[in-house]
Amino acid sequence: MTFPCYRWLVGDVKVEIREGTAKTLREDSSSQLVAHRKRELQDKQKTYRWVTWAPGIPRCIDAKTEADLPQDVRFENEKRSDFEHSLHYALLELSLKKLAIRFGKSWNDLDDFKRIFWKLRSPYVFDSEYCMEHWKEDWFFGYQCLNGSNPRMIQRCKKIPENFPVTSDMVQSSMAPRTNLDKELKAGNIYLLDYAIMDGIPTNTIKGKPQYIAAPLCLLYQHPDEGLIPIAIQLEQTSGLDTPIFLPRDPPLAWLLAKMWVRHSEFQVFQLLSHLLRTHLVVEVFCVATLRQLPAVHPIYKLLAPHLRYTLEINCRGRTQLISADGIFKRVVSTGGDGLLVLAQREYKVLTYRSLQPCIDFADRGVSQLPNYFYRQHSLMLWEAIHSFVSGMINLYYQSDHDVQEDLELQAWIRDISQEGFTELPNFGLHSKLSTREELSTLLAVAIFTSTAQHAATNNGQFDWCAWVPNTPCTMRQPPPTDKDAVTMEMIMATLPDVSQSCVQMAITWHLGRAQPDAIPLGQYMEEHFTESRAVELIDRFRTELKEIEDHILSQNEGLELQYLFLLPSRIENSITI
């Protein structure tokens, strides 16, 4: 028999340890064991408490800093030391570069950015210099919409929006021979990026100087020869004489600056919404509810625990170091401060349970047929593998839907998630009761997929896409242009981040996006929560399927100049650790 104890034993404490077999409440016939479960949950509910960190976003753990967390959910010493050292190292490295050029010529043209460019080989995809070499090219812009750090923004465009009056004549020069905009709309080859969520967001002030944002609309065309390319950009949501529609045939600097503004909006959305809100904060809800409502012997606790391992500490650090009133984002990001919260609140209002399920999300966005959408292809393979694994586990411990319905601990867990964690979301679409094994399997797959694959997709490539600052600028220091013919290189350089902002952008994206030392990949477990042979067999089968996905992805990328390896299973961490 095995008696696992994955807890810190600190001081003069009494710890009661159960035999390791996973058991639901109904399987504990002994009143003594039932009482033990009850005491454990009472103690954990006193320790792990919900709090509203800010209104209008998911609730979180009641801890002002990571030091307030119990030792059991904190980093190990090595992990904590690495986290703190890497951020200090990156900031120091780039501060020295900033000091070296403070009194010299800087930012007169785009080549000046090379003076602080950090030439690091990415462990994930490509040399960061690849982006510097190709960022001006339209195909590269389109590629990032599919496989960059925010690959779930793009949607099929069936009809040109009324506030984006693009005509067929405007974009005809971008079309393939013998076709036009109307034909391509009907054929499903026109796509849209709509940053309406950015409209009217309060802007930041950095060192006494106002920063600027835009709320662009960008039309893209799946060209039969050139791939996905942008064909029209409007930088505000309201059309008019002062809101021109930028086109590829415009003066090159005007078209380039328009694309920079889209990519600037992309930085805000991917960092604050796709990354922070839709992975970190969503997963924290599952983490807190699991710690509060499921005893360590429960099979669902055992299933989820490895995927929630460092969520609480990393989120506490993020709230204090990055997004607080005096955090790093406030110093360099155009939506830092009040704008950050308003943006998160807007996204939270429209967050749906459907959108967290990739198989539904791709269909809802109408992008199931987009070629070279590697994020979609790999996400669906991983989703199916995770869902199959979870379903097997659920069927092992729940013989029928009735068993799910009668598990009082499980029902308390889903109520904590839906009523306490995801509050103020009448249209979220997650019920406060679990009725079937399939509902439970899907919910668990969402939690695991979000904390592993989805986080990897939005986090791991950010240094690759952001190290060359003009490709994805963190802030803009001048308002969007209103006259295409007035755009000059001097205007572009006055708009892009300054030396200090550029250095911090590079430091923070390297720190967040780097490969973590001693990372535990998806499907591997540091702790053996399951001891039963049938459960171990399911874990082994899951690992085999992940290996097959790995081999498929490597084969698919073989020979490609620009590879997509962010969702390679061996490079997806088993939990959010950064």
CA dist., res. 349 & res. 362, Å (int)? 20
Where does 226-309 have alpha helices with state H?
A: 252-269, 282-293, 299-304
CA dist., res. 455 & res. 280, Å (int)? 8
Given a contact cutoff of 8 angstroms between Cβ atoms, the answer to whether 113 and 470 are in contact is yes
Q: How far is CA 274 from the centre of its chain?
A: 4
Q: Provide the Cα torsion 355, 144, 272, 114; round to 10°.
A: 170
Given a contact cutoff of 8 angstroms between Cβ atoms, the answer to whether 218 and 456 are in contact is no
Sole residue written with tokens 């590697």:
374
The pLDDT value given to residue 29? 81
Q: How far is CA 195 from the centre of its chain?
A: 17
Q: Provide the Cα torsion 26, 29, 30, 34; round to 10°.
A: 10
Look at residues 407, 511, 531 and name the one whose alpha carbon lies nearest to residue 463.
511
**Six token digits for residue 543:** 């690992």
CA dist., res. 404 & res. 414, Å (int)? 11
> How are the residues of the chain apportioned to helix, strand and coil, as percentages rounded to the nearest 5?
55, 5, 40
Running DSSP on this structure, what letter comes out for residue 207? T
**Six token digits for residue 348:** 């939270």
Amino acid at 330: K
**Six token digits for residue 574:** 């088993």
CA dist., res. 107 & res. 114, Å (int)? 10
**Six token digits for residue 515:** 């490969």
DSSP string, 376-425: HHHHHHHHHHHHHHHHHHHHHH-SSHHHHHT-HHHHHHHHIIIIIIS-S-
- Does the annotation place 578 within a ligand binding site? yes
DSSP string, 426-449: TTS---SS--SHHHHHHHHHHHHH
Mark residue 254 as left, alpha or beta (left: phi above 0; alpha: psi -120 to 50; beta: remaining): alpha
The pLDDT value given to residue 480? 97
Given a contact cutoff of 8 angstroms between Cβ atoms, the answer to whether 155 and 191 are in contact is yes
473, part of any domain: yes
214, part of any domain: no
CA dist., res. 87 & res. 66, Å (int)? 16
The pLDDT value given to residue 508? 85
- Predicted TM-score (pTM) of the model is 0.94
Classify residue 394 by burial, with Cβ atoms within 10 Å: 0-12, 13-18, 19+. Answer: buried
Look at residues 271, 267, 319 and name the one whose alpha carbon lies nearest to residue 54.
319
List beta partners, residue 1: none
The pLDDT value given to residue 88? 63
8, part of any domain: no
Hey, how many other C-beta atoms are within 10 angstroms of the C-beta on 64?
A: 11
Look at residues 445, 374, 328 and name the one whose alpha carbon lies nearest to residue 151.
374
**What's 35's domain CATH number?**
1.20.245.10
13, part of any domain: no
Given a contact cutoff of 8 angstroms between Cβ atoms, the answer to whether 434 and 443 are in contact is yes
Residues 6+ away with beta carbon under 8 Å from 61: 48, 49, 50, 51, 69, 284, 287, 288, 312, 315, 316
Tens digit of pLDDT at every position of the chain (578 positions) = 777 777 776 766 677 777 779 999 999 889 999 999 999 999 999 999 999 999 999 999 999 988 899 888 887 655 555 555 666 655 655 555 555 445 334 477 888 887 776 555 555 545 568 899 999 999 999 999 999 999 999 999 999 999 999 999 999 999 999 999 999 999 999 999 999 999 999 999 998 999 999 999 999 999 999 999 999 999 999 999 899 999 999 999 999 999 999 999 999 999 999 999 999 999 999 999 999 999 999 999 999 999 998 899 999 988 988 888 888 889 899 999 899 999 999 999 999 999 999 999 999 999 999 999 999 999 999 999 999 999 999 999 999 999 999 999 999 999 999 999 999 888 899 999 999 999 999 999 999 999 999 999 999 989 889 989 999 999 999 999 999 999 999 999 999 998 888 888 888 888 887 777 678 999 999 888 998 999 999 999 999 999 999 999 999 999 998 999 999 999 999 999 88
Q: Is the dihedral of CA 119, 122, 127, 128 positive or negative?
A: negative
Given a contact cutoff of 8 angstroms between Cβ atoms, the answer to whether 294 and 288 are in contact is no
Q: Is the dihedral of CA 311, 286, 565, 267 positive or negative?
A: negative
The pLDDT value given to residue 511? 80
289, part of any domain: yes
Residues 6+ away with beta carbon under 8 Å from 54: 341, 344
CA dist., res. 251 & res. 219, Å (int)? 18
**Six token digits for residue 140:** 């590269």
Residues 6+ away with beta carbon under 8 Å from 16: 36
365, part of any domain: yes
The pLDDT value given to residue 335? 95
- Does the annotation place 360 within a ligand binding site? no
**Six token digits for residue 60:** 């979180």
Q: HEC string of 296-348?
A: CCCHHHHHHHHHCCCHHHHHHHHHHHHCCCCCHHHHHCCCCCHHHHHHHHHHH
Q: How far is CA 364 from the centre of its chain?
A: 19
Classify residue 252 by burial, with Cβ atoms within 10 Å: 0-12, 13-18, 19+. Answer: exposed
406 phi/psi in degrees, rounded to 5? -90, 0
Sole residue written with tokens 């791991």:
460
173, part of any domain: no
- Distances 474 to 148, 227, 458, 501 between C-alpha atoms, Å: 16, 27, 16, 8
Amino acid at 37: R
Domain count, the chain: 1
CA dist., res. 380 & res. 362, Å (int)? 9
Hey, how many other C-beta atoms are within 10 angstroms of the C-beta on 52?
A: 13
226, part of any domain: no
Domain extent, residue 514, equals 21-151+257-577
Q: How far is CA 528 from the centre of its chain?
A: 28
